Amino acid sequence: MDYEAFTNESLTMMYEGIRGALRADDALRRDARDPPFRIRETPEWKKHAANLEVEMLRRGMLFEVIDWS
């Protein structure tokens, strides 16, 4: 994906979307339900987040890093 082509706002929205999907999966897992996004089981999600972080850092953007623990 060409992350340089996206606006700062688009990068932030994608990153926060990952954070939201992670929260949703974790909440459903706590209720013993199947997580729809499978963020923790799909390595591509973490790679996507890392690529977004690299681009946001390159631009000097401030953001809170996703806690994957």
Angle, vertex CA 39, rays to CA 3 and CA 31, nearest 5: 150
The tokens for 14 are: 């994608």
pLDDT at 68: 93
pLDDT at 21: 97
pLDDT at 3: 97
The tokens for 13 are: 């929205």
* Domain residue spans of the chain: 3-58
CA dihedral 40→45→49→55, nearest 10 degrees, is 160
Return the closest-CA partner of residue 21 out of 47, 45, 55, 53. 45
Q: From its phi and psi, is residue 2 left (phi > 0), alpha (psi between -120 and 50) or beta?
A: beta
Q: What is the mean pLDDT of residues 56-61?
A: 98
Give pLDDT tens digits for 15-57: 999 999 999 999 999 999 999 999 999 999 999 999 999 999 9
pLDDT at 42: 96
